[in-house]
Amino acid sequence: MLRPRSTATREKVNLDGVWRFALDGAAGPEPWSGPLATRLEAAVPASYNDLFTDPAIRDHVGRVWYQRTVRVPRGWTNERVLLRVDAATHEGRVYVDGALVAEHVGGYTPFEADVTDHVRAGEEFRLTIGVNNELTNVTIPPGTITVSRSGRREQQYKHDFYNYAGLSRSVWLHCVPAVHVTDVTITTGLDGTTGTVGYAVETNAPAPVRVRALDADGAEVAAAHGTDGVLRIDGATPWRPGAAYLYDLVVEVLDEDGDEDGDGVLDVYREPFGVRTVEVRGTEFLINGEPFYFTGFGKHEDTPVRGKGHDDAYLVHDFQLLEWIGANSFRTSHYPYAEEVLEFADRHGIVVVDETAAVGLNLAVQGGLTGRPHDPTWAPETFGDATRDAHARHLRELIARDKNHPSVVMWCLANEASTAEEGAREYFEPLVGLTRGLDPSRPITFTAWLGATGGNDLVADLFDVVTVNRYYGWYIANGDLETAERYLEDDLRAWIEKFGKPVMMGEYGADTLPGLHSVWDVPWTEEYQRDYFEMNHRVFDRFDAFVGEHVWNFADFATSNGIHRVDGNKKGVFTRDRRPKSAAHALRARWRDLNGRR
């Protein structure tokens, strides 16, 4: 789905700000039918949970309502008017005055509605958006709603991060001309020093199309007519990790005479792209034909007060910290991040493993922790065909949204699903096929949980890169790094020997309380986190097939309550307010050295 942009033929109005807000039930049976009866106001973009002091709002399970009035710019008389919601977590319902114009399930991908027939240029309308945070066995991510003995509806889920909800990203009103571009797909290659730029343009009605590639200075370097083809850029500057270079593809829809009079451009869209290749060969991960070793983190969209609300200040600061520490990459654990994040990564040469929101498709974890038999993960009453259909829809939306970002070098289809359990292959094989069909240009991976090993995993051969999440020295052999080292080495060796593919660490980490110190191996101390990483790195460096290390986590983050968590997950190398723990300095020394050498 194209991002709204201002061009010579398109305009956009950002609808962020403070909106009226109410819990479902508190605002009448049809909250969209008039002004929302409420005293509350909520910031957009932001998760609503931490904005208010009332626990009934923070812990609400169900729908909430946002409302504001919007004036359509008076110049938009002959335009199509679209309303775009970048994210409504996890389900959104949009009303223009009394009319339902859009419904969408999935909290981390955008959706839009053509509202032309419901609005008038120069006039105001009432915009009401209902957002539901419920997770079930057929949503991605999944969850279960239970009712406690005291009668409270509670949301259970199989991931630790807090189930923040609301309008966590921007909302836009934008306009496009009657005949317009609806999609652009760009796939690049390198032929010696020539960049090849495959393009495919879709329009809402048949019309002549012209494409032009501009370099970073705005000079035209290639052009063609037609809805698809390949442009060649001689002496192209590739997009490289740490050295981003972006071109623009200017796509023009022309009138019937093909703009021969110089006055026939019906629509213009502009899509940035980078010329680069990605390939897995043997046990190597290659970007532009050169071996790439991932250094960086699994992150979260998580900040105080805003929750998962996108924030440009944190965006800039987090990327500064990535650069400071020598990280060249991160994984969008455990859901697609705001498009602003990927655009920033494109501009700054940070490599991204783009992950779906499929986290928690695993009932074996509970069994593993309690020793009790667990329900089968892959069954119609738990995660069956309907779950997989939701997963497939989500994958389609993710790839449609992110396919043109040069920073995105790999899709991660799921985090820690139960891939060693009967039914896993039947679940994943069609999703792998779907992903490869939608995007043959990028490698794919998944992250393997502790219970899936080189010996028992049922799906790894379907993927290009094996990403393992391992907590030896934390959940296993806690406080005993010597034993942990042996477990880890055996574990990694088994994956490497069995599959002959590149292996990387998707998560390794230790909860750490800043300010806690010890001369011994005491978990939770700053020294222990540092030594834990050092042990991991010793092991990684023993394997040639090892292609990267993503520490868990970049920063401390909010979780739901639980006996394993004290005010959230503290495995951050930075605190939640982005101060470095001691391990940050050790990582910095290693990663700067590694990146200097590679």
Q: Active-site positions?
A: 416, 507
Contacts (CB under 6 A) with ligand BDP, residues 459-488: 469
Q: Please give the structure tokens belonging to residue 176.
A: 């496009």
Query: How many CB atoms lie under 10 A from the CB of residue 195?
Result: 27
Point out the residue whose Cβ comes nearest to ligand BDP.
Answer: 160
Question: What Å distances lie between residue 412 and 415, 446, 465, 467, CA to CA?
Answer: 8, 5, 10, 9
SS3 label, residue 95: strand
Q: Please give the structure tokens belonging to residue 153.
A: 């509806």
Taking the complex as a whole, the smallest distance from the CB of residue 416 to ligand BDP amounts, in Å, to 5
Residue corresponding to tokens 């083809």 = 229
Angle at 156 between CA 168 and CA 63, to 5 degrees: 45
- Of 119 and 413, which CB lies nearer to ligand BDP in the complex structure? 413
Q: Does 457 bind ligand BDP (CB under 6 A)?
A: no
Where residue 562 falls (left for φ over 0; alpha for ψ -120 to 50; beta otherwise) is left
- Of 404 and 415, which CB lies nearer to ligand BDP in the complex structure? 415
Taking the complex as a whole, the smallest distance from the CB of residue 473 to ligand BDP amounts, in Å, to 13
Taking the complex as a whole, the smallest distance from the CB of residue 348 to ligand BDP amounts, in Å, to 25
**Is residue 431 within 8 Å of 437, Cβ to Cβ?**
no
Taking the complex as a whole, the smallest distance from the CB of residue 509 to ligand BDP amounts, in Å, to 6
Residue count, binding to ligand BDP (CB under 6 A): 10
Q: Does 415 bind ligand BDP (CB under 6 A)?
A: yes
Contacts (CB under 6 A) with ligand BDP, residues 139-168: 159-160
Distance between CA atoms of 580 and 321, rounded to whole angstroms? Answer: 9
**Is residue 13 within 8 Å of 173, Cβ to Cβ?**
yes
Q: What is the DSSP letter of 338?
A: P
- Of 300 and 403, which CB lies nearer to ligand BDP in the complex structure? 300
- Of 179 and 513, which CB lies nearer to ligand BDP in the complex structure? 513
Distance of CA 191 to the CA centre of its chain: 31
Rule CB under 6 A: choose which of 79, 416, 439, 464 binds ligand BDP. Answer: 416
- Of 565 and 590, which CB lies nearer to ligand BDP in the complex structure? 565
Rule CB under 6 A: choose which of 339, 507, 526, 556 binds ligand BDP. Answer: 507
Taking the complex as a whole, the smallest distance from the CB of residue 513 to ligand BDP amounts, in Å, to 14
Query: What residues contact residue 351 under an 8 Å CB cut-off, 6+ apart?
Result: 241, 287, 292, 294, 296, 328, 329, 330, 345, 407, 409
- Of 158 and 405, which CB lies nearer to ligand BDP in the complex structure? 158
Rg of the chain on CA atoms, in Å: 25
Q: Does 571 bind ligand BDP (CB under 6 A)?
A: yes
Taking the complex as a whole, the smallest distance from the CB of residue 523 to ligand BDP amounts, in Å, to 13
Query: How many CB atoms lie under 10 A from the CB of residue 437?
Result: 9
Distance between CA atoms of 143 and 408, rounded to whole angstroms? Answer: 28
Q: What is the DSSP letter of 218?
A: S
Taking the complex as a whole, the smallest distance from the CB of residue 552 to ligand BDP amounts, in Å, to 6
Residue corresponding to tokens 């088994």 = 494
- Of 96 and 363, which CB lies nearer to ligand BDP in the complex structure? 363
Residue corresponding to tokens 């800043």 = 514
Contacts (CB under 6 A) with ligand BDP, residues 312-371: 334
Q: Angle 526-540/481-499 helices, nearest 10 degrees? A: 30
What residue ranges bind ligand BDP (CB under 6 A)?
159-160, 334, 415-416, 469, 507, 552, 569, 571
